[in-house]
Amino acid sequence: MSITLPDLPYEKNALEPYISARTLEFHHDKHHKAYVDNGSKLIAGTDLADLEAEAIVRKVVGDASKAGIFNNVAQAWNHSFFWKCLKPNGGGQPTGPIAQKIAADFGSYEKFAEELKNAGVTQFGSGWAWLVLKDGKLQVTKTANADTPVAHGLKPLLTIDVWEHAYYLDYQNRRPDFLSTVIEKLINWDFVNSCLG
């Protein structure tokens, strides 16, 4: 099985009061699981069945006849990555090598935080805000629906899910507040550093 549902790297209530256990129950146990189940069904018995999720999305991106595979497998990958980007008592000023790189490439942490929040706020409809590495430089970007930087040769370092299912139970329509809270309270900079390599 190339696509699996990982356990959350923390308890369901570990991100409270910023993300509720109820949100994580639905988001991980229902939404993420559905992408994994549907993606697995769609690739079963095909030449994609034994590939890693990253390889599958690179292979089928842009192929309209395989949009269902792309959407489900990309969402499975995006969510597995997203859980690792969060931790209790995270967020705020970065530590480690990413701190210097953010200062060098954005000018300051504050500038970066503003850009990341803005990417999430301005993503029309469902999607994701990202920090990626492109040609050795940090870049904030956003993707719509299931789209993922890994399908386009970019190296993701951090993401925030801005689909309504990520925040509606806790924040209703206040997506900007959800983004600010994740950035200030939940980003796992150790994980971001590990992605920077």
Shortest approach of Mn ion to residue 126 CB, angstroms?
8
Collect all residues with Cβ–Cβ distance below 8 Å to 81 and sequence separation of at least 6: 156, 159
Nearer to Mn ion, 82 or 106 (CB): 82
Of 170, 163, 164, 169, nearest in space to 185 by CA: 170
- Residue showing the smallest CB distance to Mn ion in the complex: 161
- What amino acid is encoded at 189 in this protein? W
Of residues 121-140, those binding Mn ion (CB under 5 A):
none
User: What distance in Å separates the CA atoms of residue 26 and residue 21, rounded to the nearest whole number?
Assistant: 9
Nearer to Mn ion, 106 or 188 (CB): 188
Nearer to Mn ion, 94 or 127 (CB): 127
DSSP string computed for 139-173: EEEEEETT--GGGGT-EEEEEEE-SGGGTHHHHTT
Nearer to Mn ion, 166 or 186 (CB): 166
Shortest approach of Mn ion to residue 191 CB, angstroms?
17
Q: In this chain, which stretch among 47-55, 57-65, 111-119, 158-166 interacts with Mn ion, using CB under 5 A? A: 158-166
Of residues 165-194, those binding Mn ion (CB under 5 A):
166
93 burial via Cβ count (<10 Å: 0-12, 13-18, 19+): exposed
**Edge-to-edge strands of the sheet including 155-161?**
137-144, 127-134, 155-161
Nearer to Mn ion, 15 or 138 (CB): 15
The only residue of 163, 171, 178, 191 in contact with Mn ion, by rule CB under 5 A: 163
**Residue 161 binds Mn ion, judged by CB under 5 A:** yes
Q: In this chain, which stretch among 52-60, 88-96, 113-121, 161-169 interacts with Mn ion, using CB under 5 A? A: 161-169
User: What distance in Å separates the CA atoms of residue 126 and residue 113, rounded to the nearest whole number?
Assistant: 20
- Give residues in contact with Mn ion (CB under 5 A): 161, 163, 166
